[in-house]
């Protein structure tokens, strides 16, 4: 092989390597900025081995307690985990069943209820957090039962019934919001409680 051909091959491989790096960096930035429309996210979430990298996601939580891990990009090579972060559970404002129900809790329309910590417990650690329901909740995981437990002293009006829920087929009533600085993840979720090899859907 002549020196000229060798130089051409080296040049071609160099150009190809640069192009691949550019494509990789573009895809990397695209993935962690919502297609270039948001802030670059320095961490992502992981539940049950599944990565949550989109700022708007849906997951199914199994069991009465769920652990969600915080993971740094590329194992901490480029970024570190946030020193501080907040976790909140609210009603899912995009849920079709809730939007069609005109549900009222006490003297508030359901979308004005800003916190559901009266039912969901959040235990935050530096590298993960656990989301669980109240220890003394033993009823069926229906929306009516959850609301009665979360708001025991408040009247409940226009709560969607089981027939309405099955017709709409939309059971992601709750939204988990994880924020750190300008980074925010919104995760709509539902529960599947596993007991004696049987699944019970949490509405």
Q: How far is it, in rounded angstroms, from Cα 101 to Cα 135? A: 29
Instruction: Identify whether residues 2 and 27 lie together within a single domain.
Output: yes
Question: Is the dihedral angle over the CA atoms 190, 91, 98, 182 positive or is it negative?
Answer: negative
145 in the same domain as 114: yes
With 0-12 CB in 10 A as exposed, 13-18 as middle and 19+ as buried, what is 19?
exposed
- How far apart CA 2 and CA 65 sit, in angstroms, is 67
* Structural domain count of the chain: 2
Task: Tally the C-alpha atoms within 13 A of residue 144's C-alpha that lie toward its C-beta.
Answer: 10
- pLDDT one-digit tens code per residue, 66-78: 899 998 876 555 5
Q: What is the pLDDT of residue 74?
A: 65
* pTM, full prediction: 0.72
Distances (CA, A) of 93 to 52, 90, 96, 137: 20, 8, 9, 25
> Residues 112, 90: one domain?
yes
Same domain, 26 and 41: no
115 compared with 32, residue with greater pLDDT: 115
- If asked whether residues 139 and 177 sit together in one domain, one would say yes
Q: Are residues 10 and 106 in the same domain?
A: no
Helix ranges, the chain (H)? 3-31, 96-101, 143-150, 162-168
| H-run or E-run covering 96 | helix 96-101
Cα 94 from Cα 172, distance rounded (Å): 9
For residues 96 and 3, membership in a common domain is answered with: no
Round to whole Å and give the CA distance between 139 and 77: 46
Which range of residues forms the domain containing residue 21? 1-31
Band of residue 61 on the pLDDT scale cut at 50, 70, 90: confident
pLDDT in tens, 97-135: 888 888 999 999 999 998 898 888 999 999 999 998 887
The rounded mean pLDDT for the chain is: 77
């Amino acid at each position: 092989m002549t020196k000229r051909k060798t130089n051409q091959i080296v040049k071609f491989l160099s150009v190809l390597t640069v192009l691949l790096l550019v494509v990789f960096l573009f895809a990397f930035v695209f993935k962690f900025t919502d297609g270039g429309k948001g802030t670059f996210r320095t961490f992502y979430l992981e539940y049950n081995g599944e990565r949550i990298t989109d700022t708007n996601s849906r997951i199914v939580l199994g069991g009465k307690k769920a652990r969600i891990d915080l993971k740094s990009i590329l194992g901490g090579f480029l970024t570190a985990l946030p020193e501080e972060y907040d976790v909140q559970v609210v009603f899912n404002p995009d849920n079709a069943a809730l939007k069609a129900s005109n549900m009222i809790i006490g003297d508030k329309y359901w979308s004005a209820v800003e916190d559901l910590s009266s039912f969901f417990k959040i235990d935050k650690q530096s590298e993960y957090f656990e989301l669980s329901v109240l220890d003394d909740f033993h009823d069926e995981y229906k929306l009516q039962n959850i609301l009665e437990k979360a708001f025991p002293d408040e009247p409940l009006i226009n709560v969607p019934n089981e027939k309405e829920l099955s017709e709409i087929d939309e059971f992601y009533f709750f939204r988990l919001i994880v924020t750190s600085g300008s980074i925010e993840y919104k995760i709509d979720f539902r529960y599947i409680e596993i007991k004696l090899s049987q699944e019970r859907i949490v509405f």
